[in-house]
């Protein structure tokens, strides 16, 4: 009956059918982007839980990803009951717990959500940054995006692997995220583990139809050109491990930056849906020495729009002195935030994200303020350049962060955002990977990229050394 549900409700791709049928104790899955890794994992868990009344745990790195996977598991369970015409109840439950990220020295409130299925089987989706959280689990375990787990996933593997020797399945799923990970080791040992590899070439040969930005069928070379990132293509679509992945800026460097200027203060302004803006934000800089250097990462609905304000006096040490976080804020108000600062301080300069939604606003600012404002289009090459500039600033100690960004501080979300950017390779050829900020989950490194733009703005010449109040 389970097979009937799968056949009639979902048209599984060949690679998904192979994974669904695999009963090996340890399964390693390396598929290209958008091939349905989490979707298949959720269906596999529900299928087995209904058929064998077993317990499954799907462990994600973040709460957001855990919740997304749980929704897929709910869909699978409802589809089975609908097709099987079973009058059985699917019960939902959840429980909260606290886990600690040892590296960030930060505690998080998490929620595990469980599907209780007919016959006693269950599927639980939960975040598991801390491997100690998983120590008491008994059942089958699926890790999603295992290559992104802290410390390469080695600590999580030590905790979970014994389950496979007790008769349970352990499935690790990811796209490549560097060679210094347990996922890389598992993938390269096909004699010991059941390895599933699916790059885009195999998918197209089997059943996948690629489409261009207008929805029309296209070939691989055209699709690759549209993607526009050769190094990212190797990792995301060819599923190649291209090198070791490291944080763009180490946690030790970020903590050192919090101690370079003990008198530095920053009170972030948080604007939601346009509520909360007050021009007194800019008045706090009236008596400050140095010029203001602005970086604006643009967003409207999902990600954060962030303004990072560096104050750079005569010693050339950049100091994060202001931060405006704008959530779902209209572009008109976003521009008002930027323009009121540029108008008030005639030697203030800035760089803004002119990609997509930000193009019009940044073109307008460049027209009004001339060389004081520089639009930056976020191509893969340009982002590598911005990342390189940020690496250099923290390497040489020329970027200071407020003391409250340090251990136990109220602004730890700021260094956590920078730390969430990973790199593979050196500055000239590095590939970048943006993971989630666990302290501020709405940010997808938006704070960090605003900071990189402010650092870029520091190279704009032609302004005087001290602030001039309009």
pLDDT digits (tens, 9 = 90+) for 329-349: 999 999 999 999 999 999 899
Span 371-396, mean pLDDT?
94
Asked if residue 169 lies in contact with residue 140, where contact means CB atoms within 8 angstroms, the answer is yes
At residue 366, does pLDDT exceed 80?
A: yes
CB atoms within 10 A of CB 209: 8
Strand partners, 203: none
* pLDDT range class, residue 3, cuts 50, 70, 90: very low
The DSSP line for 172-222 is EEE----SSSHHHHHHT-TTTSEEEEE-HHHHHHHT---B-TTS-B--HHH
The span from the CA of 357 to the CA of 35, in Å, is 28
CA 384 to chain centre: 17
* pLDDT range class, residue 101, cuts 50, 70, 90: confident
Span 387-395, mean pLDDT?
95
Strand partners, 291: 312
Top pLDDT among 262 and 136 is at 136
The DSSP line for 310-328 is EEE-TT--EEEEEEEEEES
pLDDT digits (tens, 9 = 90+) for 162-174: 999 899 999 999 9
pLDDT digits (tens, 9 = 90+) for 221-271: 999 999 887 878 888 999 998 878 788 999 999 999 998 765 677 888 999
Residue 253 pLDDT: 95
The span from the CA of 341 to the CA of 81, in Å, is 59
SS3 of 159, please? helix
User: Domains in the chain, ordered, with CATH?
Assistant: 2-242 (3.40.50.300), 246-457 (3.30.420.240)
Residue 355 pLDDT: 92
Between 2-9 and 63-84, two packed helices, what is the crossing angle to 10 degrees? 110
At residue 306, does pLDDT exceed 90?
A: yes
Top pLDDT among 463 and 152 is at 152
């Amino acid at each position: 009956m389970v097979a009937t549900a799968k056949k009639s409700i979902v048209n599984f791709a060949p690679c998904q059918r192979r994974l669904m049928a695999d009963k090996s104790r340890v399964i390693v899955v390396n598929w290209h982007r958008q091939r349905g890794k989490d979707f298949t994992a959720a269906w596999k868990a529900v299928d087995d839980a209904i058929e064998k009344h077993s317990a499954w745990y799907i462990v994600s790195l973040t709460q957001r990803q855990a919740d997304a996977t749980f929704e897929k598991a709910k869909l699978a369970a409802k589809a089975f009951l609908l097709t099987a015409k079973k009058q059985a109840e699917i019960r939902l439950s959840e429980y909260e717990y606290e886990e600690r990220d040892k590296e960030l020295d930060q505690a998080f409130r998490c929620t595990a959500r469980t599907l209780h299925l007919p016959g006693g089987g269950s599927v639980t989706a939960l975040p598991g940054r801390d491997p100690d959280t998983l120590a008491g689990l008994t059942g089958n375990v699926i890790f999603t995006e295992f290559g992104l787990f802290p410390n390469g996933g080695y600590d999580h593997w030590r905790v979970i692997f014994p389950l496979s020797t007790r008769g349970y399945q352990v499935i690790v799923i990811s796209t490549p995220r560097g060679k210094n990970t347990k996922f890389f080791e598992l993938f390269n040992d096909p004699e010991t583990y059941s390895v599933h590899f699916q790059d885009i070439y195999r998918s197209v040969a089997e059943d996948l139809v690629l489409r261009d930005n207008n929805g029309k069928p296209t070939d691989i070379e055209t699709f690759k050109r549209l993607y526009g990132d050769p190094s990212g293509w190797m990792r995301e679509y060819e599923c190649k491990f291209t090198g070791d992945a490291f944080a763009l800026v180490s946690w030790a460097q970020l903590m050192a930056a919090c101690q370079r200027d003990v008198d530095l203060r920053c009170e972030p302004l948080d604007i939601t849906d346009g509520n909360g803006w007050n021009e007194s934000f800019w008045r706090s800089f009236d008596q400050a020495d140095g010029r203001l250097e602005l970086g604006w990462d643009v967003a409207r609905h999902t990600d954060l729009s962030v303004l990072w304000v560096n104050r750079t006096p005569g010693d050339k040490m950049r100091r994060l002195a202001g931060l405006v976080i704008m959530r779902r804020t209209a572009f008109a108000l976003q521009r008002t935030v930027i323009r009121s600062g540029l108008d008030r301080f005639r030697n203030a300069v800035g760089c803004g994200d002119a990609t997509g939604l930000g193009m019009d606003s940044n073109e307008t600012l460049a027209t009004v303020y001339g060389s004081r404002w520089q639009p930056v289009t976020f191509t893969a090459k340009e982002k590598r350049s911005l990342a390189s500039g940020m690496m250099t600033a923290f390497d040489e100690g020329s970027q200071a962060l407020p003391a409250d960004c340090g251990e136990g501080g109220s602004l730890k979300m700021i260094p956590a955002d920078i730390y969430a950017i990973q790199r593979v390779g050196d500055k000239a050829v590095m590939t970048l990977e943006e993971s989630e900020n666990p302290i501020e989950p709405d940010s997808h490194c938006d704070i960090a990229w605003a900071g990189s733009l402010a650092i870029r703005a520091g190279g704009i010449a032609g302004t005087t050394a001290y602030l001039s109040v309009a």
